[in-house]
Amino acid sequence: MLLPESMLALTTISEGGLPHDVAGSLESNLGERMAVVRTGVPEPMPGEVLLRVEAAGVNRADVLQALGVYHVPQGASAILGLEAAGEVLAVGEGVDGGLVGSLRVALLNGGGQAQYCAVPLSLTLPVPVLPDRTDACMSGAALMESMATVQMAMDAAKACMPAGRGLTSVLVHGASGGVGAVAVQMARALGWSVVATAGDDMRCAKVEMLGAHKAVPYHDTAGIQGAVEEVTQGAGVDMVLDVMGAGGLELNTSAVSNGGVITMIGLLKGVRGEIDLGRLLAKNATVRAMTLRSQSAGRKAEIVTALGNVFWPAIEKGEIRPVIAGTVPFRRAEKAHSWILNKDVSESTDDQRPFGKIVLVQPW
């Protein structure tokens, strides 16, 4: 198949122009630090597939990168986008040509918010087919990065648990966000007890509809502690999935069980804080901090394989659903960023913040 020579893509810009690894021309500015550019179509290398992107999820890392406060890891594409879904147009050496024409969703180290992206086959899965026939590419793009993040955290927590003891309960912070909304559903699919936090009563009610046994506004510390006590019958949660960082340390050390694990995947409430080491010692508890993007390609492939084996069937049974706050055309990506930063309140109907994941869609 003859592939196009150029494509449109979203990247950051600065006073010095385009990033050094993005060769092309500026098509249009999207605010002060983001732009649509025309650049070359990547060629699939051995073991890779080339996707024609139909939908791409927007993550906080994209927003922070566009703001200039999150630096692209060495070797990663400066084109935005950590997850994308679309049709396989071409395959690299060693990949079954029968995949051409199929729909797949990819976990990326950048490059997904473009008309085309190349990705190792090991970092892709078939797009999920939902019972209600929700758009498959949109669903896949709303799920992949968030679910992979939760899978990574679950694996880390399991590795830290005392020998012979599994995970049976979790406290999910930020449960109305893209990661938190799927974390609640993934935990319930495994049969865990779930306590969650969100911004207000309305959002908490929605989180409970996703499966949380109890959801409490994050500013109600006593209420959260009471919910953990009730749901776990006083034992505390085996795992805390924390996006707050410094702002949640005291609560988390109180909520975690003896031998439990606090998995830190975000820093929304600060990067520096105090922690009660005495409480951690008394509980034999563990704090693990991690980011998905920093994992090796091999580790990411393991995570994607686990998702395909354990959770993809749950999606197709309707036990896990994408929670899509809304969709935005690729060429209006700045609206998605403003929405996430709560600058453009016109997009939300309840408390002016997105509930779930925002997805970029065609057309350009």
Q: Are strands 103-107 and 116-120 parallel, antiparallel or unpaired?
A: unpaired
Overall average pLDDT of the 295-316 stretch? 97
Other beta carbons within 10 angstroms of residue 164's beta carbon come to: 5
Q: Where are the alpha helices (DSSP H) in 16-120?
A: 60-67
Q: pTM (2 decimals)? A: 0.94
Q: What is the pLDDT of residues 320-356, one digit of tens each?
A: 999 999 999 999 999 999 999 875 434 444 456 789 9
Half-sphere CA count of 273, side-chain side, radius 13 A: 18
Q: What is the pLDDT of residues 142-170, one digit of tens each?
A: 999 999 999 999 999 999 999 989 999 99
Q: What is the pLDDT of residues 158-211, one digit of tens each?
A: 999 999 899 999 999 999 999 999 999 999 999 999 999 999 999 999 999 999
Q: How far apart are the first and last CA of the chain?
A: 23
If you average pLDDT over every residue of the chain, what do you get? Answer: 93
Tell me, what's the pLDDT at 23?
85
Tell me, what's the pLDDT at 93?
98
CA distances (Å), origin 267, targets 174, 196, 289: 11, 17, 10
Query: Of 70-79, 219-228, 316-325, which gets the smallest average pLDDT?
Result: 70-79
Other beta carbons within 10 angstroms of residue 129's beta carbon come to: 14
Other beta carbons within 10 angstroms of residue 216's beta carbon come to: 24
Tell me, what's the pLDDT at 140?
96
Tell me, what's the pLDDT at 349?
45
β-sheet with 6-12: strand ranges across: 6-12, 34-40, 24-29
